[in-house]
Amino acid sequence: MRKCLICEKGILEKVEDITLEVEGYIFIVKGERCSNCNEEFPFEEETQRTISIARKLGVWPEPLKLYRHLSKSGKGLVFRIPNDLEKQLKLNENVEIAITKVGNKIVIEAER
Ligand SMILES: [Zn+2]
């Protein structure tokens, strides 16, 4: 049994129903889910398989999930946008973003 890397409280349980959504395509993959925070960790080979399928479909050719640490700045936490996403989405400091909380996920959208 492995402990969750995110909350460090839960136990990772094997599941076969993790959904990965890539550009509107839904992929069901095997992996592990935390019993405490519900964070999902698709198995590496499953993720790779999904990426190769996604590539064939012409959707997102990048890794599907990136793990980042937040950094502390003043009283708040700062999330740094990965460089490749910055380029792909043509982000800069003048772009306004919308932040939505969806369950335990945070969705960041660039406003145009
Ligand atoms: Zn957890």
Quote the pTM value: 0.48
Whether 17 shows a pLDDT value over 80: the answer reads: yes
CA of 3 to the centre of ligand 1 (A): 8
Give the distance from CA 9 to its chain's centroid.
Answer: 20
Looking at residue 95, which CATH number applies to its domain?
2.10.260
Structure tokens at 110: 């660039």
Phi, psi of 38 (to 5 degrees): 65, 10
Tell me how crowded residue 85 is: count the other CB atoms within 10 A of its CB.
12
In-domain check, residue 6: no
Considering the chain, what is the average pLDDT of its residues? 83
Contact criterion met (CB below 8 Å) for 10 and 35: yes
Whether 42 shows a pLDDT value over 70: the answer reads: yes
Distinct helix (H) and strand (E) counts, the chain: 2, 7
Going 56 to 58 to 62 to 67, the CA torsion angle's sign is negative
CA of 88 to the centre of ligand 1 (A): 30
Q: Over range 41-70, report the average pLDDT.
A: 75
CA of 77 to the centre of ligand 1 (A): 19
Are residue 18 and residue 47 in the same domain, yes or no? yes
In-domain check, residue 36: yes
Q: What is the DSSP letter of 3?
A: B
Per-residue confidence (pLDDT) for residue 82, from 0 to 100: 74
In-domain check, residue 7: no
CA of 27 to the centre of ligand 1 (A): 22
Range of the domain at 28: 12-56
Whether 63 shows a pLDDT value over 60: the answer reads: no
Q: Which helix (H) or strand (E) holds 73?
A: strand 71-73
CA of 57 to the centre of ligand 1 (A): 32
CA of 33 to the centre of ligand 1 (A): 8
Are residue 76 and residue 100 in the same domain, yes or no? yes
In-domain check, residue 63: no
